[in-house]
Amino acid sequence: MHVITVTFKTNPGHEAAFLARVRQQAEDSLAREELCHQFDVCTHDDNSNEVFLYEIYEDPAAFQAHLDSQHFLDFSRDIQDMVADKTVTSWRRIFP
């Protein structure tokens, strides 16, 4: 399995709009991508500007298909002005 973690830091005043849009992105990814197995959206208790995503794909090719999907391209465009910083990390799940 191929795991992706993403940490977003939103611009002040965009927290609610970003959360709504990232929730929609999670729903779209799970509904439209057969090889997207998990897409969790998490918030930080002490920092409302920080959002963490935990995504599991079948393999790196499935993640690339996610990046190439129209719903991802739309999401990226829609959040452009909402995000101050974004960190993406790839992992290989070895257990279970």
**Which residue ranges make up each domain of the chain?**
2-91
Q: Are 2 and 85 in contact (CB under 8 A)?
A: no
**Whole-Å CA distances, 3 to 14, 33, 35, 41:** 27, 15, 12, 14
Whole-number Å distance between alpha carbons of 29 and 72: 8
Whole-number Å distance between alpha carbons of 50 and 85: 9
Res 77: pLDDT: 98
Class of domain 2-91: alpha beta
Predicted TM-score (pTM) of the model is 0.95
Tell which residue, 18, 7, 23, 28, has the closest CA to residue 81: 18
Q: What average pLDDT values come out for the chain (96 residues) when binned by 10 residues?
A: 98 97 98 98 93 98 98 98 98 92
